[in-house]
Structure 1
Amino acid sequence: MAKRKETVRRRAVTRAGIKRPTDTGETVDKIAAKLAASAGAMPKHAKAGAVVELALKDIRVAGKVFQWKNPGMVPSDDHIFDLAKATQNTGVLDPILVLPVADKYYVIDGHHRLAAYITAEWKGGIRAIVFNGSLDEAVREALRTNNKNKLSMTTADRTAAAWRLVKLGKPGAWPDSISEIAEMCVIGETTVDRMRAIWTTLHNGQYEGIEDLSWKQARDTAAGKDRQAFDEESWLEERARNLADDIRRYKLALSRNPEITALALEMLDPGLPAELMAHWEPRRPFDPTQMAEEELDEEGQPRPF
């Protein structure tokens, strides 16, 4: 009698079954200490720039260091779900980017791909590119890739990222210039300059616990707790947060089909999509050559209003 061939049943991936890697909760200082203790030694087969296959047990996640998005505001479950299904249908995903630290690898870019592997209960090796750079460079590379990938950073994310970079320095000893932070975070230089001024004020005033302050908390602290002056940025943040809560409450899947969302917004207000694009577009330096002739004087300079 012929022996019946056994089939392996694959667990179906569902949105309710989304899983994420455990976060170590480590800070930049803690990872830096590990690097110092290992004297720069890299894990076995960890040649910088090489594509390697890693076991899940050797991969670590440190969100405080390498993740720049607000996890509560990013509708990433659908993205993880699609990636998890892809691993079951087509195999391995694009390599994640990792920083070797002692005998482990920390994810710089690819947190959603790692979550997809875990969700799909992937049994094979996980392809990764070993980052060729320092810890500081890896932190900034994580920001650059966050700004480029499909789950683009919100205005709140970019503002928080800029504030985080400002807090890495001290008055008179900034690791990044204003223009560099503005470029990395896709935010205005004026905002970065104001952040530096607030950070300097807090340092000079010797406030306690300033490293843990959000940008809003820092503004409030520098202004004085008893000051009741109108803060436009705080007002905008509060109204935006209320609107985001309403969207989540009614379970409006705005990101599932961006084309439908864009058409719906245009139906509500034909001018809204253009206004949103103007808000999100990085500010460009003033260029008088792009002005109409009637806006310039005889010397080619902008006419006063």
Structure 2
Amino acid sequence: MPNTPNIPTEPPSADDELSEAIAKLTEEAAKGTREDRPDRLSIADIIECPEAFNVRGEDPAEHHLTELKRALERMTDLDPVLILPCGDSFVLIDGHHRLEAYRRDEERTDIPVRYFEGSIEKAVLEAARINAKAVLPLNNQQRQNLAWRLDLTGRYTKPQVMEAAGISDGQIAIMRRAKRKLGSQASEFDAWWKAKRAADGNPNSWTEQEDIDAWRQHRAQVIADKLAKTFGPKLSGNPTIAALALEIHFGRKLADLTQELIDICQDELEEDDEDTDF
């Protein structure tokens, strides 16, 4: 009788992984769920269950993490992550990028949280619902423009503008000085960088390095958003392929790009060193 061929066992499907994750979480919850609900949790106490709650099925997007890192430099906290109390554990439902951004900040030990009190099955649906309607977060240029438009109305306090737009107290103070200087003309500028140039007396020329840097940052952010929308985490997750693609695209100008990247990395390292000095 012929031997039965060895047929490779297929890896479990996504449905199997999800069902198994739900079953395990349900079993854990059945043992009794802790009753305390602190407003903040230690990062080390938050457990991830990607089989159940990583709706996107991808590694964290570096593009998004960069934006969150910049936000943390201006704000005390990001929005609370959503947590499921399960047995003796706290399981992350939504906020994977925020949690990773906190983890990359060595000074952060705990983070703000909110809780989901429904069943495991409903928690899975909640994670899907939240991510299905998620939108691309505002970049730095967009946040500044938003703050400028809000402050122009004269209807909001400084703390309200800070919270709504996610910018610093000092930045709003600069905007208000510019608004006073521009007077009735302030409302003619729909973008902060345009208003700033006018307030500085340079409405039609790029005379200050800060203005040039702001314009470059704006254009770079637009391109970064397009890359993120087109490729998702594929570029950041495959740096070798990304480098080869850039080599093909830039051709002889690759050396110029390389030097620019070296300069940017050096600036980042110097900023990190300044942050750690006491």
Task: Give the TM-score category using the shorter length.
Answer: 0.3 to 0.5
Q: TM-score, normalised by structure 1?
A: 0.38
Higher helix residue share? 2
Q: TM-score, normalised by structure 2?
A: 0.41
